[in-house]
Amino acid sequence: MSIARAKEILKHQFGYDSFRMNQEQAIETVLQKKDCVVLMPTGGGKSLCFQIPALMMDGLAIVISPLISLMKDQVDALVSNGVQAAFLNSTQSTSQQSKVFRAIESQKLKLLYVAPERLMQSGDQFIDYLKKLNISLFAIDEAHCISSWGHDFRPEYMQLAKLKVHFSGIPVIALTATADKLVRKDIMEKLALKSPALFLSSFNRPNIFYSVEPKRKSYEQLLNYLSKHKNESGIIYCLSRSSVENLAKDLKQDGFSVLPYHAGLDRETKEKNQELFLKDDVKIIVATIAFGMGIDKSNVRFVVHMDLPKNVESYYQETGRAGRDGLQSTALLFFSWGDVVKLKSFASVDGNQEQSKIMLKKLNQMGEFGDLKTCRRKFLLNYFSEEAKDICGSCDNCNTQYERFDGTILAQKALSAVKRLEQRWGTNYVIEFLRGSKSEKIKAEHKELKTYGVGADISKDNWFDYIKDLIAQGYLKQTDGEYPILTLTAKSDAVLKGTEKVDLIKTKIKEEKKESLVSEGTRDYFRDLFASLKQVRKHIAERVNIAAFIIFSDATLIEMSTYLPLSLDEMKKISGVSDAKAQRYGEAFLKEIKTYCQTNKLESRIQLKEPKRESKSKSRTRRNSNESDTYNISLNMFKKGDSISTIAEARGLATTTIETHLIHFIKSGEVKLEQLVPVHKIEPIRAAIRKLNPGIATAPVKQFLGDDYSYGEIRAVMASM
């Protein structure tokens, strides 16, 4: 069984041209009947690591998955690609279950999804049943659930330890998106894997932009954000059920398409709300963390945390639900230290000091993340023991400039307060003391000290920021533990003596969020066609009753809207179009694309598509090779009578970009100058250019001619000269 065969399956059964990350190695290992542990970020493509071997090996693959809701989607997705798969869980009726058993016995089934508790039901009965079958492999999804060191321990996973006892020769592949070293080791040991291979992929999610805002007026900030992201799909997490309810209500009143989700709702409502979200009938879900584990929706464009997650693992996992389709997405967190304090009470695990300590430490690390002044991506990657560049260019901090000022005197005040208070007090106390608080909390003898009240002119918030900055710069230290205390450091002395100057951060100047490579690569597609294709998808989804994104992901529809395939063969060149899906749904989408091309006098651009390659380089190279193409698209639309602003709108590009495209064709005569510039303006512009002789600079001409003349018009006339 060769990897060449695996590639064929990847192409025909799943519609992709090449493997991602460690998929190939993992598949090879399983095919050799060896155990392995696969760590890949959410959306990385873990499923194929066992699905492809399952298709290549004799017998039935058993997939253990903790989430009943996820099972159905995974099985739906497999079936839509023509794979024989089924699941067994408690939501099924007896007759549904019998049907599955019949399928197993017919030996046609290739994959069976089961919950861990189902596997171990009624003693070893089910295990004994499986022993009589020909089992190809066991795949254990969300394998971190087996470890009590992790953040998501599930006791029922402990039973999986027995697997290797009963099925010693059958390969086990354990998969997870979050596991530090300790958890990894736990997975291997608890599952009793035999010298397992470990496949670690980068945890970087390059298409997610990480951003944190102070938790102040967060509702207004949220509205501001959402108004800029209309019609996008997103998840907003809140800590409590009541805040979920309230926020959902408020957003609804403010005109957003939104539904709540939390464990307090009855099952029917939860299922309905989730379904509507999956089908894109509702854009936003406001939820507690009860929502999402089973959500495999690929076009989630943003994940907002109104409250702080309990640990970095949860934050990473929850934000990871954005952008599974690889398109640009945002993770936004509203942060305050108050949340850290609030969560402390939840962090203690009854009667388990050890575990409580772990949870508390994890919580504090989450706080550090919220407070970070350096690259957030680097922090996350380092947290998962991965190296990273200092600057990612795609998080708020990398896009922020901090203005600094000479804060030496402020630093001296803070450090000497810490010193006078004998390095025995926490930040809050020190600030109250500096500000000369009359509160009884401040000891009487402290009120006698010289430094008491020397910082009264600075607000509490600012003092917090300065002290954090001093800690970050190493002039102060904060002890660990439940009640951290401020202490001096080796660097403090020089400041106190006045021999060292200290710069403090004044303000944050945020730059406009830069578009990342990922979105640039997908910029040149016909947005109106994409919208129609989404409609086609929605109708099919309703007809066959599966989630829309299982039919085709947004990324696949965007490719269609870029390359305009006009036959089934061309369609199969689009990433994500398997043979089965082309057969099943191809015609419906082709019809829409054909109509669009006819009305707009467009031809297929499939020859511009390089062989499917799954990497960022695709987006990078595509733009260059498409440069002349993007000009032509604008030209064609212009020729058929669209105005510059209409073209810009439809293509999601700036009007100046479209002008550039069209001006390009003035030289060849395909666009007439008169089509771009009103006739009466042409001569005055020409005269000005002759007079000023500005070379290629348009600004002097514009200055000379005034507001009645646009840069575009001037550039067009220049091109004609």
Q: How far apart are CA 122 and CA 372, in angstroms?
A: 50
Give the DSSP per-residue string, 173-222: EEEES---HHHHHHHHHHTT-SS-EEEE-----TTEEEEEEESSSHHHHH
What is the number of the residue whose Cβ is closest to ligand ADP?
Answer: 45
Q: How far apart are CA 449 and CA 178, in angstroms?
A: 50
Give the nearest distance from C-beta 706 to ligand ADP in angstroms: 54
Q: Report the partner that residue 305 touches, choosing among ligand ADP, Zn ion, none (CB closer than 5 to 8 A by kind).
A: none
Give the nearest distance from C-beta 400 to Zn ion in angstroms: 10
Give the nearest distance from C-beta 389 to Zn ion in angstroms: 8
Choices 14-22, 190-198, 282-290, 470-478; region in contact with ligand ADP by CB under 6 A: 14-22
| Near ligand ADP by CB under 6 A: residue from 6, 13, 19, 416 | 19
Choices 302-310, 398-406, 497-505, 513-521; region in contact with Zn ion by CB under 5 A: 398-406
| Near ligand ADP by CB under 6 A: residue from 13, 47, 416, 578 | 47
Please state, in angstroms and as integers, the Cα–Cα distance from residue 595 to each residue in 496, 529, 646, following that order: 76, 10, 19
Count of helix runs (H) and strand runs (E) in the chain: 35, 17
Indicate if the alpha-carbon torsion angle 176, 179, 183, 188 is positive or negative: positive
Q: Taking CB under 5 A as the rule, does residue 377 contact Zn ion?
A: yes
Please, are residues 501 and 408 in contact by the beta-carbon 8 Å criterion? Answer: yes
Residue 52 sits at φ, ψ, to 5 deg, of -65, -50
Q: How far apart are CA 213 and CA 225, in angstroms?
A: 11
Q: Report the partner that residue 370 touches, choosing among Zn ion, ligand ADP, none (CB closer than 5 to 8 A by kind).
A: none
CA dihedral of residues 324, 330, 334, 337 (deg, nearest 10): 70
Give the nearest distance from C-beta 553 to ligand ADP in angstroms: 5
Binding track over 550-569 against ligand ADP, x by CB under 6 A: ---x----------------
Amino acid occupying residue 503? D
Question: What is the token pair recorded at 123?
Answer: 């003693």
Q: Taking CB under 6 A as the rule, does residue 55 contact ligand ADP?
A: no
Q: How far apart are CA 82 and CA 80, in angstroms?
A: 5
Q: Report the partner that residue 47 touches, choosing among ligand ADP, Zn ion, none (CB closer than 5 to 8 A by kind).
A: ligand ADP
| Near Zn ion by CB under 5 A: residue from 235, 392, 593, 677 | 392
When the beta carbons of 48 and 265 are compared against ligand ADP, the nearer one is 48
Q: Which residues pair with 404 in a beta bridge?
A: 505
Give the nearest distance from C-beta 518 to Zn ion in angstroms: 15
Q: Taking CB under 6 A as the rule, does residue 466 contact ligand ADP?
A: no
Please, are residues 234 and 74 in contact by the beta-carbon 8 Å criterion? Answer: no
| Near ligand ADP by CB under 6 A: residue from 29, 31, 37, 45 | 45
When the beta carbons of 395 and 418 are compared against Zn ion, the nearer one is 395
When the beta carbons of 324 and 523 are compared against ligand ADP, the nearer one is 324
Give the nearest distance from C-beta 472 to Zn ion in angstroms: 16
Amino acid occupying residue 690? R
Q: Taking CB under 5 A as the rule, does residue 297 contact Zn ion?
A: no
CA atoms within 13 A on the CB side of 201: 26
Give the DSSP per-residue string, 659-716: HHHHHHTTTTTSS-HHHHS-HHHHHHHHHHHHHH--TT--HHHHHHH-TTS-HHHHHH
* Residue found by looking up tokens 């994890």 in the block: 362
Q: Report the partner that residue 375 touches, choosing among Zn ion, ligand ADP, none (CB closer than 5 to 8 A by kind).
A: Zn ion
Please, are residues 332 and 303 in contact by the beta-carbon 8 Å criterion? Answer: yes
Give the DSSP per-residue string, 490-513: TTHHHHHHT-S--EEEEEEEEPPP
Choices 43-51, 197-205, 448-456, 707-715; region in contact with ligand ADP by CB under 6 A: 43-51
| Near Zn ion by CB under 5 A: residue from 183, 375, 470, 560 | 375
Q: Taking CB under 6 A as the rule, does residue 66 contact ligand ADP?
A: no
When the beta carbons of 261 and 316 are compared against Zn ion, the nearer one is 316
Give the nearest distance from C-beta 291 to ligand ADP in angstroms: 17
Count how many residues are written for the chain: 721
* Residue found by looking up tokens 């002008």 in the block: 659
Name the DSSP letter for residue 667.
T
| Near ligand ADP by CB under 6 A: residue from 42, 273, 532, 626 | 42
Q: Report the partner that residue 392 touches, choosing among Zn ion, ligand ADP, none (CB closer than 5 to 8 A by kind).
A: Zn ion
Q: Taking CB under 6 A as the rule, does residue 586 contact ligand ADP?
A: no
Q: Taking CB under 6 A as the rule, does residue 297 contact ligand ADP?
A: no
| Near ligand ADP by CB under 6 A: residue from 9, 26, 27, 40 | 40
Q: Report the partner that residue 398 touches, choosing among Zn ion, ligand ADP, none (CB closer than 5 to 8 A by kind).
A: Zn ion
Q: How far apart are CA 492 and CA 420, in angstroms?
A: 13
Binding track over 308-327 against ligand ADP, x by CB under 6 A: ----------------x---
Q: Report the partner that residue 330 touches, choosing among ligand ADP, Zn ion, none (CB closer than 5 to 8 A by kind).
A: none
Q: Report the partner that residue 288 touches, choosing among ligand ADP, Zn ion, none (CB closer than 5 to 8 A by kind).
A: none
Please, are residues 3 and 53 in contact by the beta-carbon 8 Å criterion? Answer: no
Please, are residues 259 and 234 in contact by the beta-carbon 8 Å criterion? Answer: no
Q: Taking CB under 6 A as the rule, does residue 278 contact ligand ADP?
A: no
When the beta carbons of 172 and 502 are compared against ligand ADP, the nearer one is 172
Binding track over 597-636 against ligand ADP, x by CB under 6 A: -----------------x----------------------
Q: Taking CB under 5 A as the rule, does residue 205 contact Zn ion?
A: no
When the beta carbons of 355 and 519 are compared against ligand ADP, the nearer one is 519
Q: Taking CB under 6 A as the rule, does residue 234 contact ligand ADP?
A: no
Phi-psi domain of 84 (left: phi exceeds 0; alpha: psi -120 through 50; beta: other): beta
Q: Taking CB under 6 A as the rule, does residue 178 contact ligand ADP?
A: no
Please state, in angstroms and as integers, the Cα–Cα distance from residue 703 to each residue in 686, 697, 699, 709, 719, following that order: 14, 11, 6, 9, 19
Give the nearest distance from C-beta 15 to ligand ADP in angstroms: 8
Q: Taking CB under 6 A as the rule, does residue 44 contact ligand ADP?
A: yes
Q: How many CB atoms lie within 10 A of CB 40?
A: 23
- Indicate the SS3 state at residue 113: strand
Residue 60 sits at φ, ψ, to 5 deg, of -110, 130
When the beta carbons of 10 and 332 are compared against ligand ADP, the nearer one is 10
Q: How far apart are CA 298 and CA 174, in angstroms?
A: 23
Q: How far apart are CA 163 and CA 603, in angstroms?
A: 56
Give the nearest distance from C-beta 392 to Zn ion in angstroms: 3
Beta strands, E only, 430-549: 476-478, 486-488, 503-510
Q: What is the binding site for Zn ion (CB under 5 A)? A: 375, 377, 392, 395, 398
Q: What is the binding site for ligand ADP (CB under 6 A)? A: 16, 19-20, 23, 40, 42-48, 296, 298, 324, 553, 614
